[in-house]
Amino acid sequence: MVYDHPEFDHREIHFHQDKATGLRAIVAIHTAWGTPSIGGCRMRDYSDEADALKDVLRLSRGMTYKSVMAGLQYGGAKAVIIGTPDAKHRNNVLNGMADVVNGLGGRFRTGVDVGLSTADVEMMSSRSSYVVGTGKIAPDELTADGVLVAIKTAVRFRTGLNTLAGISVCILGLGKVGGRLAQLLIDEGAAVFGADLSEKQIADARSRGVEIVSVDQALRQRCDVFAPCALGGVLNQQTIPELNCSVVAGAANNQFASDADADALAKRGILYVPDYIANSGGLIAVAAQLGAETDDWARKKVRDLEHTLLSVFEAARSDRVSPHVTAGKMADERIARLNGRARH
C-alpha cells in the first residue's frame, strides 16, 4: 500500500499507463501552496515499480526542500517514466507524458531531468504549456552555477580560503551539469578529476583538462572536494569509509542512502553541503520562467545560496550535528509556515 510506504507524506500520487504508447509513469505531488508544484521528469530503467515509486517519492520531497531553502514558494513534485523506450517509440512515450501533465490541469509543472534531453523537453512543451525549463537560462546551466557557489562557500568555511586555485575536486558524473561544473572549476584554477560511464562524456571532459579516473576510484580519490553529480544513494555504509576528501558538494539528488549515513559522514569530519541547496539552480531557472523574472533575478538567487549555506554550516557547528540535520530542520520550519498559511 502506498499509504504505508515509509517515504509517503504526499498530497497526491498519480499512476499512469498507456498500452498504446508503452508509457508507464508516476507523478508525485508532495506539497501545494496555491502555486504550481514543480519537479522534473526522470526516465530510467528501474529495477521494478517499487524502485520507481521510492524514487519519485524521495525526489518530490526533495523538490519541496529545494524550493523553500531557495526562498521560493512553489510546491515540490516529480514525475518518473519507467523504462527507456527505443528510438522508434520515444516520441510517442514523451507525447503521452505531456498528455498526462495536461491532465493535471496546471497544478504540476515539469521539465528536464535524468534521461531526458533539452530536445525532448522542447518537443513536450509544444504539446503541453505545463512543460517548462525552456527559458533563456537552461536549468542545467544554473544548477552547475549553484554547485560552484556551494563548493566555494564550503571551501571558504572549511579552510578560510577565498579562492579555488589549487583546490582539487573529483566529480562523479560528467553529464550536462557535471561537465559544465568541471569547466567552471577549471576556470577558477581548480584541479579537476572526473569519472563517468559514458565514453563521450569522458572524452569531452578530458579535452577540457579533466584528469579521468574510474568510477570506483572516484570514491577513493584523494581530493579536497568530492562532487557527486550522477544518481542518488552514492553516500552509504560502503562508500563513506572510503572517501578521501574534506568536503562533499554535488548536484546529485538524495545523495545519502539513509539519514544515518549523514551522521557517519559527519563523524569522519567531512563537511556536507545539503544536496537540495547545492542543486537548486535548476528550480530557480524554472521559477524565473514561470514568474517572468529576469536573468539577473535568477543569478542573484543562485548567489544568495552562499548566505543560506553559511547559516546552515554555522548552526550545524554550534549544535554539533550534520548540516544535513540542520538544513532539514530549517526546511521543515519553513514548510510548516507555508502549510499553515495554505490552510487559512
Residues with catalytic annotation? 78
Question: Residue 12 belongs to what H/E stretch?
Answer: strand 12-18
List the grid coordinates of 337: 509556515
Question: Around Cβ 236, how many Cβ atoms within 10 Å?
Answer: 14
For cell 507523478, name the residue. Answer: 27
List the grid coordinates of 194: 572526473
Question: Helices 295-303 and 139-159 meet at what angle, rounded to 10?
Answer: 30
List the grid coordinates of 47: 529495477
Report the greatest alpha carbon distance in the chain.
58
How would you classify the pairing of strands 23-29 and 75-82? antiparallel
Spatial contact of 160 and 137, defined as CB atoms under 8 Å apart = no
List the grid coordinates of 238: 560502503
